[in-house]
Amino acid sequence: MTKLPVSAFIICQNEEAYLGNCIESLAEFSEIIIVDSGSTDGTIALIQSYIEKGWPIRLFHETWRGYAGQKQFALEQCGEPWCFNIDSDERLDAPLRKLLPELVAAPQEIVGWRVARRPYLIGYGYTPEHVQERKNLRLIRKGRGRYDLAQAVHEGIVPDGRVEKAGKGSLLHYRPLIIDEQILKENKYSTLKADQQFAEGKRTKVLKLVFSPLIYFLRLYFKNGLWRCGVSGFIEAMTGAVYAFLTQAKLYQRQALKRRPNQDDASVR
């Protein structure tokens, strides 16, 4: 099998349940960079088993630097002309694997490609090919992009040049969390986002607090097409709206506490 001139890079911690299928989907890649930040389950043993089978994996152990910092470290370890960012719970679908040779043969003025992602929904499975999340920059020429270290969450590569959208194919996101667990994740991410925006001096307004969740829901449900996935799609879109609400509510409360710290004034009421 002819290998593609691409380094996949993955950051992970305790991803034993997901990482194997991610690695399997990278069979055409010349190099796989994995940066572990202290796994205590069977993740390292799993990675070593693939190394022993001859997979082109280079394993690094690095103390957690934050999402952007960790991915920047992983990106810097890549040795191939192209670098592909993929998470442990993602896999390349067949159309994307088929398209990759065309993407890496792009003219020099194209420095990166944005790729769609399709989530796995409990009670439904993977969304159809035309029901995708927003396309994000995942494939970048080496040395033509880096992460914005100021981004605490939803980090992305900042390109140095022209970026295009891949016409076909998707990453498949397999982390089917029940709503109990998913809300905890949205709570964590919204805290990171609110803290980042507060540090940047951003403010929220009542209109944004009220309408941001609605707009988020409408974008996911109608524009992204989650309405096609029944109740499972509705829950996914509503979960996104919860994230949007929590982010704005936390930002508002951080601002409010700065203006007026909490004080028990019951004695004068």
Q: Tell me the sheet residues that pair with 29.
A: 4
Name the more confident of 154 and 138: 138
**pLDDT digits over 166-215, tens only?**
999 999 999 999 999 999 999 999 999 999 999 999 988 899 999 999 99
What pLDDT was estimated at residue 205? 86
CATH number 3.90.550.10 is the correct assignment for the domain at 4-173: yes
Q: Could you tell me what percent of the chain has a pLDDT over 90?
A: 93
Q: What mean pLDDT do residues 11-16 have? A: 98
Alpha-carbon distance of 138 to 34, in angstroms, equals 16
Band (127; pLDDT cuts 50, 70, 90): very high
- Mean pLDDT, the chain, as a whole number? 96
pTM: predicted TM-score of the whole model, two decimal places: 0.91
Residue 269 has pLDDT above 80, yes or no: no
- Tens-place pLDDT, residues 209-261: 999 999 999 999 999 999 999 999 999 999 999 999 999 999 999 999 999 99
- CB-based contact 113:167 (threshold 8 Å): no
Q: Does the pLDDT value for residue 74 go beyond 70?
A: yes
Q: What HEC string does the chain produce?
A: CCCEEEEEEEEECCCHHHHHHHHHCCCCEEEEEEEECCCCCCHHHHHHHHHHCCCCEEEEECCCCCHHHHHHHHHHCCCCCEEEECCCCEEECHHHHHHHHHHHCCCCCEEEEEEEEEEEECCCEECCCCCCCCCEEEEEECCCEEECCCCCCCCCEEECCEEEEEEEEEEEECCCCCHHHHHHHHHHHHHHHHHHHHHCCCCCCHHHHHHHHHHHHHHHHHHCCHHHHHHHHHHHHHHHHHHHHHHHHHHHHHHHHHHCCCCCCHHHC
Alpha-carbon torsion angle 172, 143, 31, 88, nearest 10: -30
Average pLDDT over residues 14-21: 97
How far apart CA 113 and CA 56 sit, in angstroms, is 23
Q: What is residue 1's predicted lDDT score, i.e. its pLDDT?
A: 67
CA distances from 136 to 50, 52, 133, 203 (A): 28, 33, 9, 26
Domain boundaries, the chain: 4-173, 179-259
